[in-house]
């Protein structure tokens, strides 16, 4: 079947005149960000005038084309992006001159603030290492204490989110998700996708084709995959033939796209931001068509660590809506609360994104990783037991999820539950039965706690998850009326990591070593979501595995049988586990071993294992 080419965005997107740009990513006009999340004036505006200290708009500035500067005595060049990766089939439909110009403008206006915020993250980690715990910010207490404000809420097609299926954006997995009967498909360009150049651009092609009704895939075995929507024999609430609303998750702020180089006004060259690339290409090519179809450009925002990072996203959304002639508020975002820092700023994050926010999600696996990473050198009270013992019912995790629900419903935002890692195995009924029981219990707890929807990782889990939410919601699309006034979570509750209890066992250490090696090997081959030992593993769960090993070694933690964990002993386990792995020609286990050693066995702790691995191996 011949796939029709993409159409470009309507017209040549117009240039906004919100002030000149004076540095890489910084702006001095409307809603500009000039430091670590700070803005000039007392709030941003979305018109064409600048804000000059009091929030009163000045007269509009004369229109200035993108790249034109007024820097006076020194010459600058036009900011632009250069493609350094190889161009595959149809890549030119995504990497059009107009799309690249839009990406360049996003980088010119916002990349500088991104760098500032990443530097602020580093400082926050230094504070945590030195004993300063996260806290509810006194300087934003007025936001938390103001009962009057609300978020925009769900956009068209997001009113019912009771079951969302997550997965990467390769063509086969996308078609399976679109045919699953879920309410929402989280089209994941982040943790479930290995960010190879092919996966990044071909994932954009997948999404564009899906939105245009042109997505097909013919497998190497001759099997044809086509989008038909929910199956006609499904009896769990999905209308036959319907497809889920798409919510795309771009990469986090910390990741770059090395196959695109941003050249700034001073002719400085740097890798493009993965976040801006993923978001920008998807919005540029698809926003108008999605709105015309009765949906919209919707996003999941991963790994935020502060409300200032949410403010940056809000500025980007407002700029994009202006640039692409979208109505204000057309873009909707659901923020993953998956760092301990963000857990203390949930209300502020909602407030910063209030014109664009649909809800928050309890990203449990990255949240656990964030706790280990933040407090990894703070002593034994922050040491967690075997991963399998860190359930959603341990006290500090209960505090996190209950605070999320109460915060969301107080502000009119949906609370979306997380993903149980258990997955069925169609060849093993016992494994499938165990998975269904585990998922049913997990979703029953979420629905009863007040969540408005949840995630699953496999189509066969949708009926189980939907049944638990149907039992609580009935015909209602949400339960926002449950404001959970009974919830009173303190900073001490969120930081009570010792409440997890449990033990560290040799089996738990071996599980972490084996899962990390197998997942990293899969990731290096370009597969970012991997079924391992009947659990769905992605980058977040691999991060837990390697960071626990690092922390246990660093703390010289004791096993349940009294033995101490040290680097020499773990190195022996790594050798044994490597020897037991099934090897095939062309596998990446040798490289995976090097990545694991660098991220789990060295004295220095890499903030993310994927950063160095991407730079070196992908």
What pLDDT does residue 241 have? 81
- Distance, in Å, from the CA atom of 505 to the CA atom of 510, rounded to the nearest integer, reads 9
The pairing of strands 224-226 and 216-218 is: antiparallel
Q: Give the global pTM.
A: 0.88
pLDDT value, residue 237? 63
The CATH number linked to 256 is 3.20.20.360
pLDDT surpasses 70 at 9: no
Domain boundary among 424, 459, 493: 493
Q: Identify whether residues 410 and 532 lie together within a single domain.
A: no
Q: Say whether pLDDT at 500 is over 60.
A: yes
Asked whether the predicted pLDDT for residue 580 surpasses 80, the reply is yes
Looking at residue 49, its pLDDT comes to: 35
Residues 6+ apart with CB under 8 A from 573: 506, 509, 510, 513
Q: Pick the residue with more confidence: 49 or 138?
A: 138
**Of 470, 493, 516, which closes a domain?**
493
Shared domain for 380 and 398, answered yes or no, is yes
Q: What is the mean pLDDT of the chain?
A: 90
Q: Is the pLDDT of residue 20 over 80?
A: no
Q: Among residues of the chain, what percentage have pLDDT more than 70? A: 87
Band of the pLDDT at 230, cuts 50, 70, 90? Answer: confident
33: confidence class by pLDDT, cuts 50, 70, 90: very low
Return the pLDDT at 420.
Answer: 87
Residues 307 and 161 reside in one and the same domain = yes
**pLDDT tens digits, one per residue of 552-579:** 999 999 999 999 999 999 999 999 999 9
Q: Are 287 and 255 in contact (CB under 8 A)?
A: no
Residue 17 pLDDT greater than 90, yes or no? no
Q: Is residue 429 part of a domain?
A: yes
Q: Provide the terminal-to-terminal Cα distance of the chain, rounded to the nearest Å.
A: 31
Is 37's pLDDT higher than 70? Answer: no
Residue span of the structural domain in which 253 resides: 115-493
Looking at residue 421, its pLDDT comes to 87
Per-residue pLDDT averaged across 433-451, rounded?
97
SS3 of 158-186: CCCCCEEEEEECCHHHHHHHHCCCCCEEE
Look at residues 485, 489, 446 and name the one whose alpha carbon lies nearest to residue 467.
446
Which residue in this structure is represented by tokens 């179809």?
Answer: 293
Please, which contacts does 530-535 make with residues 24 or more away whose CB atoms are closer than 8 Å?
531/423, 534/422, 534/423, 534/425, 534/428, 534/431, 534/434, 534/435, 535/421, 535/422, 535/423
What does the pLDDT read at residue 240?
80
Measured CA to CA, the distance from residue 414 to residue 535 in angstroms comes to: 27
Q: What value does the mean pLDDT take over residues 163-190?
A: 97
What is the 8-class DSSP label of residue 393?
A: T
pLDDT single digits (tens) 249-299:
999 999 999 999 999 999 999 999 999 999 999 999 999 999 999 999 999
pLDDT band at 18 (very low <50, low <70, confident <90, very high): very low
Whether 538 is catalytic is yes
Q: Determine the average pLDDT of the residues in 210-233.
A: 92
Q: Assess if residue 560 is contained within a domain.
A: yes
Residues 24-37 have a mean pLDDT of 37
> Based on the domain organization, do 261 and 341 belong to the same domain?
yes
Is 105 within the bounds of a domain? no
138-160 average pLDDT score: 97
5 inside domain: no
Least confident segment among 2-11, 108-117, 444-453: 2-11
- How many other β-carbons are positioned within 10 Å of the β-carbon of residue 380? 11
More confident residue, 10 or 483: 483
Measured CA to CA, the distance from residue 252 to residue 273 in angstroms comes to: 9
Whether residue 120 lies inside any domain: the answer is yes
Residues 541 and 392 reside in one and the same domain: no
Which tokens is 250 given?
């771009």
Residue 12 lies in a domain: no
Query: What is the structure's pLDDT at 487?
Result: 97
b/e code 524-550 from CB counts within 10 Å (16+ = b): bbbbbbbebeebbbbbbbbbbbbbbbb
Say if residue 478 is in the same domain as residue 521.
no
Number of separate domains in the chain: 2
> Are 512 and 483 in a shared domain?
no
Q: Residue 292's pLDDT is what?
A: 97
pLDDT at 536: 93
Residues 158 and 305 in one domain: yes
The per-residue pLDDT for range 344-398, each reduced to its tens digit, is: 999 999 999 999 999 999 999 999 999 999 999 999 999 999 999 999 999 999 9
What per-residue confidence (pLDDT) applies to 236? 62
What the block records as the tokens of 297 is 């450009």
Residues 193 and 270 in one domain: yes
Does the pLDDT value for residue 310 go beyond 70? Answer: yes
DSSP, collapsed to helix, strand or coil, labels residue 422 as: strand
Residue 435 falls inside a structural domain: yes
Q: Is 239 considered catalytic here? A: no
181 versus 23: the higher-pLDDT residue is: 181
Residue 424 forms part of a structural domain: yes
483-495 average pLDDT score: 97
Q: Return the CATH number at 521.
A: 1.20.1220.12
* Statement to judge: residues 481 and 513 lie in one domain: no
**Model confidence at 10: pLDDT above 80:** no
Q: Coil, strand, or helix at residue 360?
A: strand
Answer whether residue 471 shows pLDDT above 80.
yes
Among the listed residues 114, 249, 410, 466, the single catalytic one is 249
Are 583 and 435 in the same domain? no
Q: Minimal CA–CA distance to 161: which of 482, 450, 478? A: 478
Give the domain-ending residue among 493, 527, 544.
493
Lowest pLDDT segment from 241-245, 345-349, 610-614: 241-245
Are residue 520 and residue 473 in the same domain, yes or no? no
- Among the listed residues 93, 100, 288, the one whose alpha carbon sits nearest the alpha carbon of residue 201: 93
The pLDDT assigned to 137 comes to 98
Q: How distant is the alpha carbon of residue 262 from its chain centre?
A: 23
Angle between helical axes of 539-554 and 364-374 (0-180°, round to 10): 30
Predicted confidence (pLDDT) per residue in 58-82, tens digit? 343 343 455 554 445 556 899 999 9
Phi-psi region of 303 (alpha: psi -120 to 50; beta: other; left: phi over 0): left
Phi, psi of 552 (to 5 degrees): -60, -40
Averaged pLDDT for residues 510-527? 98
């Amino acid at each position: 079947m011949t796939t029709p080419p993409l159409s470009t965005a309507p017209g040549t997107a117009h240039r906004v005149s919100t002030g000149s740009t004076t540095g890489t990513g910084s702006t001095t006009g409307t809603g500009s960000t000039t430091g670590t999340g700070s803005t000039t004036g007392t709030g941003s505006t979305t018109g064409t005038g600048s804000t000059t200290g009091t929030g009163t708009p000045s007269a509009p500035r004369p229109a200035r084309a993108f790249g034109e500067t007024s820097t006076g005595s020194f010459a600058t060049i036009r900011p632009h992006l250069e493609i350094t990766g190889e161009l595959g089939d149809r890549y030119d439909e995504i990497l059009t001159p107009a799309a690249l110009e839009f990406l360049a403008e996003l980088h010119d206006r916002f990349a500088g603030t991104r760098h500032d915020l990443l530097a602020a993250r580093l400082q926050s980690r230094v504070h945590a290492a030195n004993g300063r715990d996260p806290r509810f910010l006194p300087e934003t207490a007025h936001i938390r204490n103001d009962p009057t404000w609300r978020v925009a809420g769900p956009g068209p097609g997001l009113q019912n989110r009771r079951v969302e299926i997550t997965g990467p954006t390769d063509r086969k997995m996308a078609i399976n998700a679109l045919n699953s009967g879920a309410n929402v498909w989280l089209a994941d360009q982040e943790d479930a996708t290995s960010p190879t150049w092919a996966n990044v651009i071909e994932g954009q092609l997948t999404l564009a084709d899906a939105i245009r009704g042109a997505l097909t895939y013919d497998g190497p075995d001759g099997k044809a995959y086509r989008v038909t929507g929910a199956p006609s024999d499904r009896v769990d609430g999905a209308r036959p033939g319907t497809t889920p609303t798409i919510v795309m998750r771009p990469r986090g702020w910390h990741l770059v796209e090395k196959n695109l180089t941003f050249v700034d006004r001073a002719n400085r060259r740097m890798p493009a931001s993965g976040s801006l690339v993923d978001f920008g290409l998807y919005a540029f090519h698809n926003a108008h068509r999605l709105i015309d179809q009765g949906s919209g450009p919707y996003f999941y925002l991963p790994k935020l660590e502060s409300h200032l990072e949410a403010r940056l996203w809000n500025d980007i959304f407002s700029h994009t809506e202006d640039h692409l002639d979208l109505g204000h508020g057309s873009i909707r975002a659901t923020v993953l609360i998956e760092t301990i820092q963000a857990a203390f700023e949930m209300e502020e994050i909602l407030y910063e994104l209030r014109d664009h926010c649909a809800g928050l999600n309890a990203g449990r696996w990255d949240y656990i990783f964030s706790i280990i990473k933040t407090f990894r050198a703070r002593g034994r009270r922050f040491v967690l037991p075997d991963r399998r013992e860190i359930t959603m019912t341990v006290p500090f995790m209960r505090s996190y999820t209950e605070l999320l629900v109460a915060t969301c419903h107080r502000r009119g935002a949906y609370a979306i539950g997380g993903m149980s890692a258990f997955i069925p195995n169609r060849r093993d009924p016992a494994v499938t039965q165990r998975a269904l029981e585990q998922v049913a219990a997990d979703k029953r707890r979420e629905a009863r706690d007040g969540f408005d929807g949840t995630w699953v990782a496999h189509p066969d889990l949708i009926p189980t998850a939907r049944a638990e939410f149907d039992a609580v919601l009935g015909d209602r699309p949400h339960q926002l009326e449950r404001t959970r006034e009974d919830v009173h979570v303190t900073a001490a509750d969120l930081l009570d990591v010792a409440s997890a209890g449990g033990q560290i066992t040799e089996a738990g250490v071996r599980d972490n070593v084996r899962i990390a090696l197998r997942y990293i090997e899969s990731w290096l081959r370009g597969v970012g979501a991997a079924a391992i030992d009947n659990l769905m593993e992605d980058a977040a769960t691999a991060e837990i595995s390697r960071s626990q090993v690092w922390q246990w070694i660093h703390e010289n933690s004791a096993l349940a049988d009294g033995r101490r964990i040290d680097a020499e002993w773990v190195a022996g386990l790594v050798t044994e586990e490597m020897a037991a792995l099934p090897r095939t020609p062309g596998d990446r286990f040798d490289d995976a071993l090097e990545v694991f050693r660098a991220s789990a066995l060295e004295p220095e702790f890499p903030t993310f294992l994927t950063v160095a691995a991407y730079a070196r191996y992908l």
